[in-house]
Structure 1
Amino acid sequence: MPRSSNSPDWVRDRRRRIGDQIRAARLHANLTQEAVANMCQMERPGYNRIEQGHQSPTLDTLILIADAIGVPLAHLVR
């Protein structure tokens, strides 16, 4: 996983926007962070770091999150 501190500002900004889109989709689906994290077989603090834009998820993790929330992957990374 790339270290976020070495990423250019525009990448960190984009990662935060993706986290915002994940959070909005999760809330629209009326799911908690804990529920999504459990469905993705990950710890809630790690999931929270993704939503906050502090951690870069792998593509596999994004696919799992999209499936857990019930949205197309493209919806999360627009």
Structure 2
Amino acid sequence: MPRSAPPPDWVLVRRRAIGDQIRASRLRANLTQEAVAERAGMDRATYNRIEQGHSAALIDTLILIADAIGVPLADLVRQ
């Protein structure tokens, strides 16, 4: 099976911006990465990769993260 091409640079920039929004929302809620990951049902390392923009998250995962932080999903993806 051939490897798919990496996403374009603008997608990676946007992924990092979403991670920044997640981090800012988490900090405003005074939550640790561990607390959000536990509430969202994932391990902290996976959550960290999403927050850092190193890993692309499925929409279902973003919904779980938004719920764990207590913010609307739109707050995490709004530019």
TM exceeds 0.5?
yes
Root-mean-square deviation (Å): 1.3
Cα distance in structure 2, aligned partners of 1:36 and 1:26:
8
- Counterparts of 1:1-78 in structure 2 under 5 Å? 6-78=6-78
Moved over 3 A (4+): none
State the aligned residue count.
Answer: 75
Structure 2 gaps, min length 5? none
Cα distance in structure 2, aligned partners of 1:61 and 1:28:
20
What CA deviation, in whole Å up to 9, does each residue of 1:13-58 have, x standing for no partner?
A: 0000000000000000000000000011101000000000000000
Structure 1 gaps, min length 5? none
Q: What TM-score comes out, normalization by structure 2 length?
A: 0.92
| Structure 1 residue 10: Cα displacement | 0.1
| Structure 1 residue 70: Cα displacement | 0.5
